[in-house]
Each structure stands twice: as structure tokens, then as C-alpha cells.
Structure 1
Amino acid sequence: MEYNPPNTRERIVARRQRMRRNSTEPVVPGWRWRLREGLRSGRIVSGIVFVISCFALFYVLFSSRFRVQTVEVVGAEFLSPERIVAAVPLRGLPIWLVDEEQAVAPLLTSPFVEEARLTLSLPDRARIVIVERQPAIYWRTGGVDYLVDRQGYVIEAAATPPAEDELVIVDSSNLPVEPGMRLDTDALTLARELAFVLPNQIGLHPAQIGWDFGLGVFVRTAQDQMIVFGRSERLERKLTILAYLLADGTPFTYLDLRPVNPFYQYRPDGSS
């Protein structure tokens, strides 16, 4: 029987090599350890909160619950609420994505609208508040009377003739106007002032208050006198001079109060 001596040294070396290989291989933790570590560090909770937040944000942004369904119009008199709603198409839009200023911008292009505001209310309501231009003066040019508001904006051609107590400014230049155009605000202010001051403080009742491109504001009396005021500067001085001439009984058919030294003419035949 043949005896094979054990190769003890080689076996020891092989065992050490196996142990060295096993010690360099990474240790993979189990799922229980990972779960405990995730809960302890808060990563799992943060992930759950993030996912829920994403779903909630998606719901809020795109759910029909938060789309504009009801549009209320406040302040409309000349314009119908239906026309306003049609001009501002809000229904069906996500309420979060509506730009309030940009939404009402089309309304401000209308000659009837002076101011427009939009307010949104959760979850699905919109409220449009408008301030319409209120007629304050009639502007007559080319035989047509136009409604003008206090800021000087032309609203539209008047459907009915003005009443006797309404202020009518006659444009002797007959310049064309159209809705939305802004007229000379100084002329309008001066005309309103004269319509009140002349009869109440001086005792002069104008037969006509007019405006001319070259002259500015003027007044015609029942005695066919023409009094030119021009613009509103030095108005008190102009009124003082006019009051003096009237009180003195100075005859005139044409009085120009625009120069620093006003002048007048008297031509009974009406020629200038």
C-alpha cells in the first residue's frame, strides 16, 4: 500500500487565499436592514411625502375642480355682461394660470370702458369689475353729436339729441372724431368752467360754447358777440376783464382775451 504524505503547506496556502478573497467581497445588507436604515434616516418618509405632493400638485393644477366655471360681471350698464364675458374667455381655464391684468386687457380697448379689474376666488369663480365711461359732454362736429366722458374720451355718437341743459361744445373746425379718441382735455375743462362761471358769477348766459383749432375755446352770446378764451391759463384775469367790459357797457362784437393785452372790435354789421 502506497502512502501519500499530506501536503499540509499547500493546503494552508489555499485556505488563506480563499479567506482573502472572501474578505474583499462587498457585504450586501438584507432588505430588513435597508428598511430600518431608511426609516431611521427619514429618506423613506421624504420620498412618500414627495410622491404625495406631486400627485396633489397635479390634481390642483389640472383638476376640473380648479377650472374657472362661474364668471360674474359687475358695473356694466352700456355693455351687456354677455359681451364682456365673450371678450374675456375665462371659462375652462385653470384658475392658477390666469393672468389677471392680461385677461382684462381686451376690455380696456373699448371706448366704453374706463377701468377693468379681475379677481379670482377659489375654487372656480372669476369676478370682472368694470367702470364704464360716463357721458359728461356732447361734442358736435360735422353735424354729429358725440358723447364724451370727463377724461375727454369719445364714447360714441349720441343716439338722441342733447337736452337743453346739457353742455354741448361745437367744433367749428369740423375735425373728424371717432370712438376711443381723446379730445383736448384743457378745452373740455375750460368749457365746463365757463358753463358754470359765466351765468352764475358774471351774469352772461352763453348761446353757444365752441372750440376752434386755431382759436381754442370761444363763447357766442345771444347778441351775436364772440368772446375768445383760448386755453385755461390766466382764466381769472380773462373773467375779470370780461366782467369789467360788460359792467361798463362797452359795445363789442368780437373780444379776444388770449393776449396779455386783450383787444375787442365792434362791428354792428357782423363783419370781422
Structure 2
Amino acid sequence: MVERIPKIIVPAEEKKPSFRFSWRIFYLILIIMAILFLIYGLFFSSFFKVKNIDLKGANLVDGDQLKKVITYALNEEDNIFLYRSADISAKIKENFPLVSEVNIQKGLPDTIRVIIIERQPVIVWQTADKKYLVDKEGYAYLEADANNAKDLPVIIDSANLPVVLSKKVASKNFLDFIKEIIEKFTPRSNLKIKELRIRDTTFDLDVLTTDGFIVLFDTTRSAETELDDLRRVMNHLNGAKPKEYIDLRVEGWAYYK
């Protein structure tokens, strides 16, 4: 008789999971935490909140009122990295027509420097019974008076059109034309200017002389050319003076009466 020997199966020993420390994961977590901390510090903490306004260039503009406007503009975003310079600049120009240019600089951690350039007048624009200072770009920005308009040439708008402050009343080309006429009119013609007038547009300029007649210019043409035409007309008249006008507006021709 054969005796059966039972087969004994010994179960394999289960391997217990082991924890292995990963320096790569550790450094990744540190980097993420550092980035989050940096973002919070730069954009959400009060450390980089604008607290000081350094204002430069305000001579005629009220500095205290200007700072209030800047502070109001910063209420929407006062973080030194996030505020919009264009918005602040627009608010300043909207409230202060006297300001021509605005430059804003960051000063870490909590200061902004606002540098303004105030407009400088080149002419006085008269319409009806009001007078306005106009800068070199043609913007009317302030009512003129005996103090701020001294020695400035006056352009009289015969159409008496209303003027809105901080809006253009004339082009830069027109103002350059006026400047050249004022500088060269008397040396070229031996005539003196009494008044400068425009009618419906700035394309035509009427120069009233102290002799009582008017010289008509086309401001879209060369002032140099028209002044040369005026000189030739005066030489042709040989000391005589027109009773009413000299019209130089048509190229190649000059009319007088």
C-alpha cells in the first residue's frame, strides 16, 4: 500500500509597502510654495500698496488737488505693479486742462513719482468777449487775463465760435504760419500789424495794418512765398498804399484795391 504524502503549500510572505522619500517631490512642493508666497507678496500684500505720491512740475496747477485726483484714480488699483499709468494720466488731463504731458514712474516699494509738464501759451484766442491761452499744439486751456497774456499775439475769431477748454482751436501748421507772419511781416513789407483775424476757418488770415488796409493770406500755402509776393506788391506801389486790401491767396497772383 502506497502512502500518500499530502502536499504542503506555504503561502508566500506578503511584501509590506515601503515608503521612499522623494527629494524631487519635496523640491517641487517648495518651489510651488515659494511661487505662491511671491505672488501674494507682490500683488496682494500691503507692502507694495502705493502710499506716497511724489509730484513734480506743478507750478500753476494746484498740487494738493492734483494729488487728490491721483489718489482717486488709484482707488481702482493701488498696487505698485498693477496700477495703470494711462488711466491716471487720463484722469489728470481730464481734470486739469493746463497739463500737457504726464510721466509716471515707480519707486519701490510704495511710491509713485508723477511728473507733469504744464502748457505754455503761444497766442491768445479771442472770440466774442472772451480770450483764451492757446499752446503750441493749438489747445485752448485757460482764460487769458492781463497777467498771463502779456506780450502774446491775439488772434480774433470774427465768427465768434465758442471755445471749449482742453479742445483744439487751431492746427499746429496754422500756428507755425502765424509765427512766421509775425516775425517777417514788417521786415519784408515795411508795414506794421494792428490785428490778426480769421473768418469762418483758419485757412484764411486777415492782417489789418496800421495803415488801415488788410492783407489777406492763405494759411495752407507757404508763408515765405506769400510774404515775397507782398514785398513785390509794395515795391510795385512805390510808396503808395492800397485803400482796402492786398489779396495774396491765389498762387501766382496778387490783387489790391
Fold match (TM-score > 0.5): yes
Match of 2:144 in 1: 158
Match of 1:238 in 2: 226
| Alpha-carbon distance, 1:122 to partner | 0.9
Q: Does the CA contact (< 8 Å) of 1:209 and 1:220 recur in 2? A: yes
Bigger-Rg structure (1/2): 1
Q: Does the CA contact (< 8 Å) of 2:139 and 2:170 recur in 1? A: no
Taking structure 1 as the reference length, the TM-score comes to: 0.81
Match of 1:192 in 2: 179
Matched, 1:256 2:238: no
Letter in 2 for 1:70: N
**CA–CA distance in 2 between the matches of 1:52 and 1:139?**
61
Letter in 1 for 2:232: Y
Match of 1:115 in 2: 101
For structure 2, the residue ranges without an aligned partner over 5 or more in a row are: none
| Alpha-carbon distance, 1:111 to partner | 2.2
Match of 1:269 in 2: none
Q: 1:100 to 1:181 in 2, by over 3 A?
A: closer
For structure 1, the residue ranges without an aligned partner over 5 or more in a row are: 1-5, 266-272
What SS does the corresponding residue of 1:93 show, helix, strand or coil?
coil
- For residue 56 of structure 2, the aligned residue among 74, 78, 92 is 74
Spell out, residue by residue over 1:171-192, the C-alpha distance to the aligned partner (whole angstroms, 9 max, x if none).
1111111201212223322222
**CA–CA distance in 2 between the matches of 1:46 and 1:241?**
82
| Alpha-carbon distance, 1:68 to partner | 0.7
**CA–CA distance in 1 between the matches of 2:89 and 2:224?**
43
Matched, 1:209 2:209: no
Q: 1:167 to 1:145 in 2, by over 3 A?
A: same
| Alpha-carbon distance, 1:197 to partner | 0.7
**CA–CA distance in 2 between the matches of 1:56 and 1:181?**
45
Q: 1:259 to 1:250 in 2, by over 3 A?
A: farther
Q: Which has the higher contact order (CA 8 A, sep 6+)?
A: 2
Matched, 1:178 2:164: yes
| Alpha-carbon distance, 1:198 to partner | 1.2
Letter in 1 for 2:176: T
**CA–CA distance in 2 between the matches of 1:234 and 1:49?**
68
After TM superposition, list the pairs within 5 Å mapping 1:32-51 onto structure 2: 34-35=20-21, 38-39=22-23, 42-51=24-33
**CA–CA distance in 2 between the matches of 1:45 and 1:166?**
72
**CA–CA distance in 2 between the matches of 1:145 and 1:210?**
14
| Alpha-carbon distance, 1:196 to partner | 1.0
Identity %: 25
CA-based RMSD of the aligned residues comes to: 2.3
Match of 1:143 in 2: 129
What SS does the corresponding residue of 2:167 show, helix, strand or coil?
coil
Q: Does the CA contact (< 8 Å) of 1:156 and 1:178 recur in 2? A: no
Spell out, residue by residue over 1:84-107, the C-alpha distance to the aligned partner (whole angstroms, 9 max, x if none).
222222378221211222332222
**CA–CA distance in 2 between the matches of 1:152 and 1:59?**
46
After TM superposition, list the pairs within 5 Å mapping 1:87-98 onto structure 2: 87-89=69-71, 90=74, 93-98=78-83
**CA–CA distance in 1 between the matches of 2:81 and 2:5?**
81
What SS does the corresponding residue of 1:166 show, helix, strand or coil?
coil
**CA–CA distance in 1 between the matches of 2:164 and 2:118?**
17
- For residue 17 of structure 2, the aligned residue among 14, 25, 28 is 28
After TM superposition, list the pairs within 5 Å mapping 1:100-111 onto structure 2: 100-109=85-94, 110-111=96-97
Q: Does the CA contact (< 8 Å) of 1:209 and 1:217 recur in 2? A: yes
Q: Does the CA contact (< 8 Å) of 2:248 and 2:254 recur in 1? A: yes
- Report how many aligned residue pairs link the two structures: 244
